[in-house]
């Protein structure tokens, strides 16, 4: 193959794998406060999940908030397509009540999670204080004697309120979203 043709093929392949355009925000002095507040919010979210404080987690969302885990990283809108999770607060409440029901058989065995959130990048900050923030997570889950490891990225659209940030949309892209799931996911990641 001619060199040019090779370059073309390589370019095409790269395009195919790049799921999302990543823009690095310009460094701005004065972002510290937002950066810090957003990080604290994400750490708190991780703690709430690991502590199984489900109602506290749901309360982190605005009334119209949505928790979305796409089935395909190329998906752009949560509505009207197959998704692993696509839940408003009402559906989140169903999930919480189910998990807390004494006869949720799959919840009976010992289980727990451990989230670590990092690579926190404030992508956009609006004049009203709302932010869009990207981050990465690793989550280790124990069920009975089995450990599973999940990782992926979050995009949070956060609304600034007098009581701190609230989630308008939490998008969770799991690295293994398209692979076969060994067993299933029971609560939000």
Partner 1 sequence: MPDRNPPISKLVEPDRVHKSVYTDEQLFELEMERIHERVWIYCGHETQVKKPGDYYTVQIGRQPMVMVRGADGKVNVLYNRCPHRGAMICGDRHGNTGEFFRCSYHAWTFNHDGKLKNIPMMESGYQGTRWNRDNPDCNMKQAARVANYRGFVFASLVADGPSLVEFLGPSKIAFDDICDRAPEGEVEVVPNCFRVIQNSNWKIFLENQLDALHPSVTHQSTGRAARDVEVQIEKKTGHAPLAYHMLSAFSTVTIDKWDNFQTLNYPHGHCILAGYMGLRPQDPDTLAYEKTLVKAYGEKRKEEILSTNIHHVLIYPGLSVQSPLQQLRAVRPLGVNKTLTEIWHFRLKGAPEPIYRRALAYYNLVNSPATLINADDLENFWKIQTGLGSDGGDWVSFARHYGRDIEKDGVLETGEGMGTSEAPMRNQMKAWSEFMARA
Contacts with partner 1 by CB under 8 A lie at 69, 71-72, 80-86, 90-91, 93-99, 101-107, 179-186
SS3 state of residue 4 = helix
CB of 132 to partner 1, least distance (A): 24
Contact 109, 144 (CB under 8 A): yes
User: Two tokens at 151?
Assistant: 């990782």
146, with CB counted inside 10 A (0-12, 13-18, 19+), is exposed
CB of 52 to partner 1, least distance (A): 16
CB of 71 to partner 1, least distance (A): 5
Q: Which is nearer to partner 1, 49 or 131 (CB)?
A: 49
**Alpha carbon distance 102, 105 (integer Å):** 8
Q: Which is nearer to partner 1, 10 or 91 (CB)?
A: 91
Q: Which is nearer to partner 1, 53 or 101 (CB)?
A: 101
Distances (CA, A) of 93 to 58, 83, 138: 8, 18, 25
CB of 89 to partner 1, least distance (A): 10
């Amino acid at each position: 193959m001619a060199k040019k043709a090779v370059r073309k093929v390589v370019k095409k392949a790269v395009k195919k794998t790049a799921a999302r355009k990543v823009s690095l925000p310009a460094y701005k002095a004065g972002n510290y406060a937002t950066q810090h507040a957003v990080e604290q919010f994400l750490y708190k979210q991780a703690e709430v999940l690991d502590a199984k404080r489900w109602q506290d987690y749901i309360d982190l969302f605005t009334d119209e908030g949505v928790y979305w885990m796409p089935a395909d990283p190329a998906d752009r809108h949560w509505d009207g397509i197959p998704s692993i999770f696509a839940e408003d607060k009402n559906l989140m409440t169903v999930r919480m009540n189910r998990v807390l029901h004494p006869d949720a058989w799959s919840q009976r065995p010992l289980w727990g999670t451990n989230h670590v959130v990092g690579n926190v990048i404030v992508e956009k900050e609006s004049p009203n204080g709302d932010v869009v923030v990207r981050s990465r997570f690793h989550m280790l889950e124990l069920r009975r004697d089995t450990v599973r490891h999940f990782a992926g990225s979050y995009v949070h659209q956060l609304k600034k309120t007098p009581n701190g940030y609230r989630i308008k949309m939490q998008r969770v892209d799991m690295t293994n979203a398209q692979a076969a799931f060994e067993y299933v996911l029971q609560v939000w990641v």
